[in-house]
Chain A
C-alpha cells in the first residue's frame, strides 16, 4: 500500500470548515483513498473513501486532485465532537485486506 503524509496536528474554529490534507504521491491506479477518524478511547470510525472522483456523504467531503497525488478531507461545519485523530489511508479496494494506519492528524476544534 502507498505511503501517506499528513500534518501531525491542526486546529479549527467551531462552525468553520476543517480541511485536512493528505499527500500520497506514490499512489497506484487501483488504490483508493480512505479516511478514518478515532475519537479518544474509541475504535477508529470509517468516514469516506474515493478513487478519483470527489465524494460526499453525510459526514464529510473528499476532494482528490486530478493527478491523485493528494487529497483533502473537508468537514463542512466542524463541531467539538469532531475533535479526533484523522487517518488517511490508501489501499487497493479489494484483494489485499490489510489496512495500514499511519500516525494521522490530531484535529482540535476550538470553541
Chain B
C-alpha cells in the first residue's frame, strides 16, 4: 500500500516561530498536496506540487510556503506562525487519475 507519512502527529509552537511540517511518500508519485482542515470549513488546499522544485498556490496560500527538493518529500513552512494557523494539516499524494492517499495529519497548535 502507498504510504504518506507526516513527521509529527501533534505540534505546539509559539507565535512568531518558523514551523516546518514534513511529508514523505514512498510510491514515486508526481503530485503532492497540503491541506488544512478546520471545523465547519472542511479541507482547504494550501499548496500543491506537480514535480520536484515545482509548486502551485492553492486556495489559501497566505502565510505559508512549500519546498519540494526531492520527489518523495513535500514540506510546508509557516514563516512566522500565528494563532489563526492552529489547525489540522493534511498531506496527500496522487499518482494520476486515481485517488489521493492522505497522511494521518499533524495537529498544530500555535500559542
Contact = CB atoms under 8 A, between A and B. Distances in A.
Interface residues of B, number: 26
A43 B42 contact: no
Contacts of A100: 45
Interface in B34-48: 35, 40, 42-43, 45, 48
Nearest to B30: A97
Interface size class of A (residues with CB under 8 A): 20 to 34
Interface in A80-111: 93-94, 97-104
B92 interface: yes
A97 B43 contact: no
Interface of A: 32, 34, 36, 41-47, 49, 93-94, 97-104
Interface of B: 4, 31, 33, 35, 40, 42-43, 45, 48, 50, 58-59, 90-92, 94, 96-105
